[in-house]
Amino acid sequence: MQLVSLSQAYIFLSAVPLLLSLSHGLWKKESNIIKEGVFLSPKFDIGPGLVENRYYYDIDFPRGHIAIKDFTAEVIDEEGNAVPLYETYLHHWIVVRYYRRKGVTHTGNESNSDQVTVANSGLCPPELLGQYFGLGSETRGTTTEIPEPFGIEVGNPAEMPDGYEEKWWLNVHAIDTRGVEDRLGCIECQCDLYNITVDSNGQPLRPDYLGGLLCCYDKTQCRMKEGFEGPRRNLYLRYTVKWVDWSDLIVPVQIYILDVTDTLQASNGSNSKDLKHNCEVEYQVESCSKNQKDVSDCIDVRRTSLPMPRGGYVIYGVAHQHIGGICSTLYGQDGRVICSSIPIYGTGKEAGNEEGYVVGMSTCYPQPGSVKIMDGETVTLESNYSSSRPHAGVMGLFYLLVAEQLPN
Ligand SMILES: *[C@@H]1O[C@H](CO)[C@@H](O)[C@H](O)[C@H]1NC(C)=O
Ligand SMILES: *[C@@H]1O[C@H](CO)[C@@H](O)[C@H](O)[C@H]1NC(C)=O
Ligand SMILES: *[C@@H]1O[C@H](CO)[C@@H](O)[C@H](O)[C@H]1NC(C)=O
C-alpha cells in the first residue's frame, strides 16, 4: 500500500460495540458506539543522524462534542511499515488542544488572543506540559484506553468562547540514529555529540548542561560513524483516536501531568501564597560507579512533593521514563501508593520490541472509587533510574486521569 497516494489523512469509522472492547468496564451502555479514526501527520523527511522537531497546527482530529476514549500513535514509513526505534527514535510526540479565532489561519505569528491553549488541569505551566496526549518511545507498548463510563470531554460548544473553534496541534520529535557513533548518546541528546554550545535562540548553555532537548532541536545533526551513507526517507506519525459522542452517561476525567523536577516557588514580588510551578521537564542522572562498591546499588532517586488543588478518583495512571528508568511511584500524603509504573524494555529486533529501548510502561487502572486523592492533598512523586552509568536529558513525568465524581 502506498500511503502517499492517499489523501493526507484517512479515517475509518468502525463501529465497535462497547461490550466487546471493554476490559475494565463495570457500567455498560450498549447503545454507545466507539468510533475510531486513523490519521497521518504531515510527512517529514529525515536522514542519518538528523533530528526532526516540528509543530503541525490544525491537525486532523474528530470534531464535535465527544468523549475521547483512547489516543495511540506510531512512526511509519511511506509503505505504512512500523519504523523501529533503533532507526528512528521517537523522543516524544505531544498533542495540544487550543481555541483559534475563526477566519485566522496559522501563520506562526499570531497574537496570543487568536490562539488560546486549552491546557490540561496541571500542574506545570501550560506552555511546558499543557498537552492532552503525549508519549515517547514507549508509545507502541503502553495501554492508554480509558475505561467505561469515563472519557475526556472535548468540543463542548458551551465552553468555547464566541468566535472561536477548537483545534489541535501536534509536535513530533524524532531522531534518526542510523549510522551514528553513539546511539544512546544521540537519543539522550548529549550536547558534545551534536556539537551544540548555544540553544536554538543563540543563548549560551549552562556549562553543566550536558544533554537534553536544548541540544537536539530541529535539524541538529548527531555525530556519525566515519563514511556512513544512508538514504533520507519520508516518515509519518500515524495516530489513532477512539471516541464516543458525548452523553450524560459519560463521566468526565481531568488530565494531570506531574513532573518530578517540579519545585513550587514563590513568584517574585508577591505574597508567599502565590506559588509558581517550576518544571524543568528533564534532568541528569550522574554515574555513581566511582564511589560505589556495588554497582547494583546505583540508583538515582528523585522525589518531589506537590499539593493537588483538586482531588478525585484515580481512573488511570502511567509514568514516562527514558532508558535507564527503573520505576516511578506516586504516593499519597499518608504514604499509600496511588500508582506505580514500570518501564518495559524490548528484547528483540521488531518494531515494538526493540532490544534495550523502553517500549512500554506499565499502567494503573484502579477499581474506580478505590483510589482517591483528597482536595489539597500533597502527593509525592518518585522516579528511580539506574545510575550505573550517567544519563542526560531523562524525564520523570506522571500522567493521571482523575474523575471528580463516580457514576451514579
Ligand atoms: C509578527 O507580528 C508582529 C506584530 O503584528 C509584527 O511586528 C512582526 O513583524 C511579525 N513578524 C513576522 C515574522 O511576520
Ligand atoms: C562544531 O562547531 C564549531 C563552531 O560552532 C565548528 O567550528 C566546528 O567545525 C564544529 N565541529 C564539527 C565536527 O562539526
Ligand atoms: C527507589 O529506590 C529507593 C532506594 O532503593 C527505594 O527505597 C524506592 O522504593 C524506589 N522507588 C521506586 C518508585 O521504585
Instruction: Give the ligand 3 atom nearest the CA of 328.
Output: 13
Calculate the average pLDDT of the chain: 89
- Look at domain 6-178+230-245 and name its CATH class: mainly beta
Least confident of 1-5, 184-188, 279-283, 372-376: 1-5
pLDDT value, residue 291: 61
pLDDT (tens digit per residue) in 71-104: 999 999 999 999 999 999 999 999 999 999 998 8
Domain 253-403 fold: Jelly Rolls (2.60.120)
Q: How many angstroms is it from 109 CA to the middle of ligand 1?
A: 6
User: What SS3 class is residue 20?
Assistant: helix
Ligand 3 atom closest to the Cα of residue 329 is: 13
**260, 299, 339: residue to mutate for ligand 3 pocket, most atoms within 8 A of CB:** 299
Report the share of the chain in percent with pLDDT over 70.
87
- The count of other CB atoms within 10 Å of the CB of residue 275 is 14
Distance CA 330, CA 342 (A): 12
Q: Which ligand is nearest to the CA of 302?
A: 3
Q: How many helices (H) and strands (E) does the chain have?
A: 4, 26
Q: Which atom, in ligand 3's list, is nearest to the CA of 297?
A: 5
Q: Which helix (H) or strand (E) covers residue 183, if one does?
A: helix 183-187
Provide the sign of the torsion angle of the four alpha carbons 372, 24, 340, 317, taken in this order.
negative
Please tell me the predicted confidence (pLDDT) of residue 362.
98
CA distance 145 to 267: 37
Return the bridge partners of 373, or none: 312
Positions of CATH 2.60.120 in the chain: 6-178+230-245, 253-403
* Residue 389 alpha carbon to ligand 2 centre in Å: 27
Q: DSSP class of residue 112?
A: G
Tell me the ligand closest to 383's alpha carbon. 3
Task: Report which bound ligand comes closest to the CA of 114.
Answer: 1
Q: What are phi and psi of 163, to 5 degrees?
A: 80, 5
**CA pair distance 173, 178, nearest whole angstrom:** 16
> In this model, does residue 293 exceed pLDDT 80?
no
Quote the cell numbers at residue 213: 532537548
Closest protein CA for atom 1 of ligand 3: 384
Find the length of the chain.
408
- Tell me which residue has its CA closest to atom 7 in ligand 3: 301
> pLDDT above 90 covers what percent of the chain?
81
User: Is it the case that residue 334 has pLDDT exceeding 50?
Assistant: yes
Spell out which residues line ligand 3, taking CB within 6 angstroms: 299, 301, 326-329, 382, 384
Can you tell me the mean pLDDT for 199-217? 94
For residue 349, what is its C-alpha cell?
529486533
In this structure, the residue with its CA closest to atom 10 of ligand 3 is 384
pTM: 0.88
Cβ–Cβ under 8 Å, residues 48 and 175: no
Q: Strand, helix or coil at 363? A: strand
Residues 6+ apart with CB under 8 A from 129: 120, 257, 259, 279, 281, 397
Q: Is 351 helix (H, G, I), strand (E, B) or coil?
A: coil
Q: In ligand 3, which atom is closest to the CA atom of 384?
A: 1
**pLDDT, tens digit, for every residue of 104-123?**
877 666 667 888 999 999 89
The arithmetic mean of pLDDT across residues 308-334, rounded, is: 97
22 φ, ψ to 5°? Answer: -85, 120
Which ligand 3 atom sits nearest the alpha carbon of residue 382? 13
Count Cβ atoms within 10 A of the Cβ of residue 350 and give its class: 0-12 exposed, 13-18 middle, 19 or more buried.
exposed
Instruction: Please write the tens of the pLDDT for every residue from 226-261.
Output: 999 999 999 999 999 999 999 999 999 999 999 999
CB atoms within 10 A of CB 139: 24
265 CA to middle of ligand 1, Å? 34
Query: pLDDT tens digits for 21-65?
Result: 433 333 444 447 999 999 999 999 999 999 999 999 999 999 999
Closest residue by Cα to atom 14, ligand 3, is: 327
Closest-CA residue, ligand 3 atom 3, reads 301
Measured in Å, residue 113 CA sits from the centre of ligand 1 at 14
**What band does 272 get if pLDDT is binned at 50, 70 and 90?**
low
Task: Report the pLDDT value the prediction gives residue 3, as an integer from 0 to 100.
Answer: 38
270 pLDDT exceeds 60?
no
What's the confidence (pLDDT) of residue 112?
Answer: 75
Over residues 190-215, the mean pLDDT reads 94
313: nearest Cα among 18, 16, 26, 28: 26
Residue to mutate (ligand 3; options 382, 385, 397, 398; most atoms within 8 A of CB): 382
2-23 pLDDT, tens digit per residue, is 333 333 334 444 444 333 343 3
Residue 218 Cα to ligand 2 middle (Å): 17
Question: 247 CB contacts (<8 Å, ≥6 apart)?
Answer: 29, 32
Q: How many angstroms does the Cα of residue 195 sit away from the middle of ligand 2? A: 6
Q: Which three cell numbers stand for residue 312?
A: 478525585
Measured from the Cα of 327, ligand 3's closest atom is 14
Contact 73, 238 (CB under 8 A): yes
Tens digits of residue pLDDT in 159-189: 999 999 999 999 999 999 999 999 999 999 9
3-state class of 157 per DSSP? helix
